[in-house]
Chains A and B, each alone.
Chain A
C-alpha cells in the first residue's frame, strides 16, 4: 500500500474537519487522540485569552485552547455541539475547543493547494494550505504553529 502510493508519488493522509463560525478547517488525524464533549474548564489566572482554562481528562490536567480565539475569531460560547479535540503535539497534550467536528476525509498531497496570498495574519500564521472538496474550502492548520507560542505568551 505504501509502495503503491509512493510509486504514484501521492502520499495520502486522513484529515479531520471542523467548523469555527462559518469557516471550515482541518488537521491531520494522526495528532488527534480523542474527541470529547465540552465540559466547563477552570480558568487559569494570567493566561492568554485563547487559553480557556484546564479540565480533568482522566486524571490529567488538560489545558483547553479556544481555537476560535487563537485563529482570530470571537470567543466561543460553548454549547452541547461543541467538542474538545484532544491532540498531542510534541510532549504536550492539549484540548482544542471547536464548534463541531464535521467529517473525516482522505486527501493526497497533490489535493492540497498552497494558501492563497491574503492579508489575514491568521492565514499566514496557521494555515498550511487549502483543500477544495464538494464546493467547500477547508483550510489545513498546522498544529505546531498553534501551540509553541502558547507557552511563550503565557509566560
Chain B
C-alpha cells in the first residue's frame, strides 16, 4: 500500500513535469516554433500522462488525455495545421488536463461542463480533418496496447510495416534477427520501442516470425515466442545498429549481418537489365527507377521522427536534458544544506578572527602566515559561494505558472494578451522562490487587468489588439531583479492623484512629482479600478505586493510612460539567509538595522528637534515632522532619553509606509550579515527580528523596525508569534 502510494506520488511528480513540458511546448508552437521535435514533445507529454493515469485507473484523466492526444496526433501527422485557434483550444485543454491531474492527486473534481466543452472542441478539431477514423483506430489500438502487453509486438509490427514498404535509401543494409527472451520482457523492456528505435536509424522492413507461437491453450503468457527479422537500410554503421539493443543484448538472441543493399542496388540492377533488354526506352527507365525513392523517403522521415519521438530514450534534446539531470542530481534534506551554510558562516568568522590575530602579531604583509591567510580567505569565499549555489534554484518553477494565469485573466477581462518570459533560468535561493509566487501573481493580474487597455481602446490608440506583458528576471549587483512590463496605457496620473485625494491619502493641495504620484498606488487602501473586478479587486492592492516584497527584504519600484505602458521592478536579495544591514551602536551594543527599511541617515540639529507631549519628540525633515524614536530606550538599554545632537538619526519607512526617525549612537558601517534565528533556542524578543554573528565572533541583534516603531508609539505590536505563544 505504501509502495503503491509512493509510486503514485512519483507519477504525480512526473505529471507536473510533463504538464510543464506540455505547456512550454504549446507556447513554443504558438510562438512559431512548430517543428516536429516540439510537436512530438507535446504529444509525448500528453501520452505519458495518459499512460501513467491508465495504470492507476484514473479514468477521467485517461479519457480526456486520450481525446487530447488524438487531436495532437493529427497535428503530428500533418493532418491538422497548428493554427492560433487550435492552439488556444489546446492551451485551455492543457489547463484542464492539469486540473484533472490535480483533482486526481488531491481529490476533488473538475467542472464537468468545462471538461466536456473542451473535449467536444478537441473532438471537433480532429473530426474535421480527413483521416480521422484511421487515426482514431490507431489511437484506440494504442490504448489497447496499454492494457494487454502481450499484443504489443504484433500491433506495432504492422504499423511499422506501413512505412517500411518504401524503397530504401542508399547506405548500409543489415539483416537483423532479434529474438527476445522472456527476461527481456520481465525487465520491463518493450520490443516495440526497440524496433521503433531501430526504424529511426533508416528504413526498416520488419517481419515478425510467429512460427514458434504455440496454440493458445499451451501459451505461457510470460514466455517470449516472437522473432523479428529486420532488413534495415541505414546510413549508420553496425555499431549504431547494435547500440539500439545495448540494454537488452543479454536478454535476446541477436544477429546483425551486413548484407548487400537489396533495395537501391536491386533497383539499379533491374533498371540496367531493363535498359539492356528494352533498348527502346532507355531514357525513361532510369527516372522510373529513381522516382519512387524520393517520395517514400520523404514519407518515412516524419514517420521515423515520430517513432523516435515516442521512444523515451531516443527523444530529442528535451529528453536528453532530463536524463542527464536525473543522473547528476541528488535530493538532499534542506536542513543539511542549512547546517552546511551555518558552518561556512562560522568558518568565515573564524577566518576573520584569525586575520585579526595575525595583524596583531605584527607579521608583515609578506609573511608566510599572511600569504597563507589570503589563500584561506579565497577558499572560504569559494566555499561560501558554492554552498549558496546549492540552495539556488531557477525562477522557472514560479514563472511557469504565469502563462496560465495570464490566459485566465485575459479570458475574464476580454483582453488579448501575449506573455513573454525572459531569464527563467535566473537562480535565486529556494526560500525566496517559495515566497515569490504571490506577489508575482498579483503583479501579472494587475498588469493585464489595469495595465492593458481593452482591444477597442488599443485599436483606437494605433496599437495591436494583442497586448504584451513581459516578465523577466535577471541578476543585478548581487540581487535578483524581476520586472513585469506591460505595453498598456501607463498610469493615469491625474486619476491616481484624484483618487488619493478623495480617499484622504494625500492633502488636496499636495505638490507631487510624477514619480511620487506613481508610487501612490502602493499606499494601503488604494485601488484604481473604479469597478471592482473579480480579478484584481480582491480587497488587496499593490500595497500588499509591496509589503510581501519588503518582507522578503526587497524593494519595488514603478516606472510609467503615458501611452506606452508601465514597468514594475522588484529587486530581491538572492537569499533570505543574508541581509543587507546597517551596523550601528546603541548604548554600547552593536545592532543591525535592515537596509531596506532605511530611507536616509541624518545628523539631527537642535532647531529641528521638538518636544511633543510628555516625552515624545519629533524631528523636522524637509518641513515634515516625523516621530523621533530612541532605539536604546525602546529596547531598554537605557532609561533616559538620549541627546539627539551627538547622535545619528536613521529615517526609516515601515511596512505600512509610515516614516520615523530612529535615533542611534553611531553608525559603524554597512555590510551583509547572515541571519540567525533566535527562536530556535530561545524565543521571540519584542523589537528584535533575529540575530547575526559579526566578524569579531560576537552576536549582534537585528532590529525589527516595525516593532520598534510600534512600541515607541505605544501600540501593542501585534506579533503573530507572540500571540500564539501566550
Contacts and interface: CB of A to CB of B under 8 A. Distances in A.
Does B associate with A?
Answer: yes
Interface of A: 39-47, 51, 53-56, 58-63, 91-94, 150-152, 154-155
Interface stretch (B339-347, B476-484, B504-512, B596-604): B339-347
Given A42-B701, A54-B691, A56-B697, A154 B635 contact: no
Contacts, number: 93
Contacts of B349: 56, 59
B685 A56 contact: no
Interface in B669-720: 676-678, 680-688, 691, 693, 697-701
A17 B683 CA distance: 28
Contacts of A53: 699
A31 B637 CA distance: 33
Nearest to A153: B683
B589 A43 contact: yes
B343 A61 contact: no
A56 B683 CA distance: 16
B531 interface: no
Of residues B684, B693, B722, which shows the largest number of chain A Cβ atoms within 10 Å of its Cβ? B693
B607 interface: no
B589 A42 contact: yes
Interface string B481-518: 00000000000000000000000000000000000000
Contact of A151 (B687, B688, B691, B725): B725
Which has the most chain B C-beta neighbours within 10 Å: A54, A59, A62, A155? A59
A154 B698 CA distance: 22
A43 to B, nearest CB: 7
B726 interface: yes
Nearest to A154: B683
Q: Which size bracket describes the interface of B in this complex?
A: 20 to 34
B636 interface: yes
Given A151-B683, A155-B722, A61 B698 contact: no
Interface in B629-676: 635-637, 676
Given A59-B343, A60-B342, A60-B676, A42 B681 contact: no
Highest count of chain A CB atoms <10 Å: which of B678, B685, B725: B685
B636 A55 contact: no
B683 A61 contact: no
Interface of A is mostly: mixed
Contact of B725 (A44, A46, A56, A155): A155
A59 B683 contact: no
Nearest to B691: A61
Contacts of B589: 42-43
Given A46-B687, A61-B678, A56 B699 contact: yes
A54 B725 contact: no
Contacts of B637: 43, 45
Given A46-B636, A46-B687, A59 B342 contact: yes
Contacts of B686: 45-46
A58 B688 contact: no
A7 B548 CA distance: 63
Given A45-B636, A63-B681, A92-B680, 13 more contacts: A44-B678, A45-B635, A54-B691, A58-B342, A60-B680, A61-B682, A91-B680, A92-B682, A94-B681, A152-B725, A154-B682, A154-B683, A155-B683
Given A59-B345, A59-B676, A154 B685 contact: yes
A90 to B, nearest CB: 11
A40 to B, nearest CB: 7
Contacts of B342: 58-60
B683 A40 contact: no
A144 to B, nearest CB: 15
A63 B688 CA distance: 14
Contacts of A154: 682-683, 685
Nearest to B686: A46
Contacts of B722: 155
A59 B726 contact: no
A56 B698 CA distance: 6
Question: Which of A42, A53, A94, A154 has the most C-beta atoms of chain B within 10 angstroms of its own C-beta?
Answer: A42
Given A56-B693, A58-B343, A59-B343, A47 B685 contact: yes
A45 B700 contact: no
